[in-house]
Structure 1
């Protein structure tokens, strides 16, 4: 079966995530240099003034520490997204940003919710669940790697700290899960071995001929079975030519 998506590295898969990282640091630098207070770019739940934050809030951060904790996961996870899911990466990123922002606007407590952590949780959730649902060994390995690197983040979808927007984290996780269910095509398909294919015939499999009808292993296949595997129309002929130069010598 031909896969609909081939894995091939492109420099853009690294440039685009780096651009995201540079963008959020640039906004914070502008905020420091200008003295502007950009928290009003965040999401304020169930309020008209908080609607622009659905799109803008991932670019606003409260401190260098906040930026530092978000930058590396954002770059790593978005690089993985563009490499393994390059045909749907922009759709996942765009819809994920909107959905996580909308869910935060609907569900969160009244406060300014800022930062790219909602998008990060969306990426973690999407990559993890999509790898499980796709049943492709490469994508499943990526899911396990995400669990190993970012599994501890699951605690922050709960109200463990009043200073953290756990509602934004939860919204991102929900958005990633929904997107993993929605995008069923244009991903790496499950690997199918030859015995799983519809045209597979057990009696033509050379390996299966080493077993009798009762399942006992046969180390040496009978000659008649081996001869039957050969093409009866195949004939090999050898032609010899006399080397006249050798006689002269």
Structure 2
């Protein structure tokens, strides 16, 4: 994922960020529907892409290690449902960036331990809450130029994915 993000970032940089206008998510616009898929790989600057890189590595690695069987399905659900939420209800701007996916992974990892009621996922939930708990404030409006809608709908999609992709506990 990071290779794709950084390859797109280089092309985007060389084209004056033209890809954002072409492939970014534009709410309630038929032409902006493809942005649901492309939004996570588009960024507004080198700094924007760099800021998303570390949480992608950390949360993505935690997800890959702790939820191997559902990591791909959860990620697709987060991008699809989170993006659809932004497309339906987001502000009339071009929405770009991987933060919706990051917040989705965050929501998934937080909810999974609670939903599954098993020790390993619960330990991941506690670790994520301690390390990244302040992220929760990013789902609220407030910072100009930041798509809080992507954060909100990504996190909500992650919680839904944790619920629907839960592993059945054989002791129940």
- Bin for the TM-score computed over the shorter chain: over 0.9
Equivalent residues in 2 for 1:123-138 (5 A)? 123-138=105-120
Higher normalized contact order (CA 8 Å, seq sep 6+, divided by chain length): 2
Runs of 4+ in 1 over 3 A off after TM superposition: none
* 1:41-60 superposed matches below 5 A: 41-60=23-42
Q: CA deviation at 1:49?
A: 1.3
**Higher normalized helix content (fraction of residues):** 2
User: Is residue 28 of structure 2 the alignment partner of residue 30 of structure 1?
Assistant: no
Deviation at 1:104, TM superposition (A): 0.6
Match of 1:140 in 2: 122
Please report the TM-score for the alignment, with normalisation by the length of structure 2.
0.93
Q: Do the aligned partners of residues 35 and 164 (structure 1) sit closer, same or farther apart at CA in structure 2, a change above 3 Å counting?
A: closer
Structure-2 separation of matches of 1:159 and 1:132: 26
C-alpha displacement at 1:36, in angstroms? 5.0
- CA shift, 1:155, in A, is 1.1
Q: What is the alpha-carbon distance in structure 1 between the residues aligned to residue 158 and residue 13 of structure 2? A: 32
Query: Does 2:62 correspond to 1:80?
Result: yes
Equivalent residue number for residue 174 of structure 1: 156
Question: Higher Cα Rg: structure 1 or 2?
Answer: 1
The unaligned stretches of length 5 or more in structure 2 are none
Q: Distance in 2 between matches of 1:166 and 1:74?
A: 17
CA RMSD of aligned residues (A): 1.7
Which residue in 2 is equivalent to 1:212?
A: none
Q: Which runs of 5+ in 1 are unaligned?
A: 1-19, 198-249
